[in-house]
Structure 1
Amino acid sequence: MHKVANREALDGVQQMHRGVHMALDALVNHGDTEAAVEILRQIDAAMVDWINETRKMR
């Protein structure tokens, strides 16, 4: 299956991907669980907003 996304969707996925890497860096390289948790919570909130907006557009 060939998946297609608009620029806005691709930018959103890339931003979330960067956030996951930031959380991993905080956790693995700096041992900062609090920072990792905060970043992951922000990503989670952004994903929920994105999913809800996508549902409205359907």
Structure 2
Amino acid sequence: MALVGLREGLLTLILVEEITFTQGNGNSEWIAQSGTNILNGFFFGMGGCPMIAQTLVNLSAA
């Protein structure tokens, strides 16, 4: 599940780059998301990832 979430996060990053004409950093995204999901496991939390639909709503609202 972590790999699916990471893949969705990187695809969302690519989509945001194309819409906003900016350059993101996939390595930072990978490290941040992986680190928080691993740390979250120690506190019995639920892993997460960015979702394309919520990101598009936030971009259109800005």
Give the TM interval when normalised to the shorter protein: 0.3 to 0.5
- State TM-score, norm by structure 1: 0.44
Greater share of helix:
1
Decide which structure has the larger Cα Rg and report it: 1
Q: Which has the higher contact order (CA 8 A, sep 6+)?
A: 2
- State TM-score, norm by structure 2: 0.42
